[in-house]
Chain A
Amino acid sequence: EVVMTQSPATLSVSPGEGATLSCRASQSVNSDLAWYQQKPGQAPRLLIYGASTRATGIPARFSGSGSGTEFTLTISSLQSEDFATYYCQQYNNWPPLTFGGGTKVDIK
């Protein structure tokens, strides 16, 4: 099973500032990496797939990069609606598909 590790667990950011979230895979997953955003009481929402392709309707301030075992989600200028928890998920080596433990982005 591929273990996905996200860091940091919590990131405190002021509105308007940028944020960089990391995701590491225990073995190479090529570019088969997705990012999700989840707000309290809601289902996850797909942001990024293929490590760097934004899903439909996702603002350009969200960008993904990386391949192999190291991945990054960057939010260029945080808006109020961006404060949430973010998860990465690999879909290269399965079953099972596996998720990271999440990074909570909160208001500084």
Chain B
Amino acid sequence: AQSVTQLGSHVSVSEGALVLLRCNYSSSVPPYLFWYVQYPNQGLQLLLKYTSAATLVKGINGFEAEFKKSETSFHLTKPSAHMSDAAEYFCAVTLGGGSEKLVFGKGTKLTVNP
């Protein structure tokens, strides 16, 4: 069964600093991988998606993630944090197909300090 582990339930960075949120996955077949963001009192919004077309995936709001099969990782990065990036970030995996489910990690709460 597929699973996702997010290292660090809380990450704090200064405005303008690099953001790095870690995600490792477990899957017996090539997975589809996702990062979603949840702002306070809102639903989740898709940031980016990996579907084997390219290992470096660019998403919205300047975020990107790199798929590394050898490390079973899909870490999320942003070169320069902005105050508006403060939110909770979830990594998710699915095997795809018509009847799939997303398996989410427990989330990482990002705080951006002025």
Are both chains from one complex? no
Q: Which B residues are within 8 Å of any A CB, using their own CB?
A: none
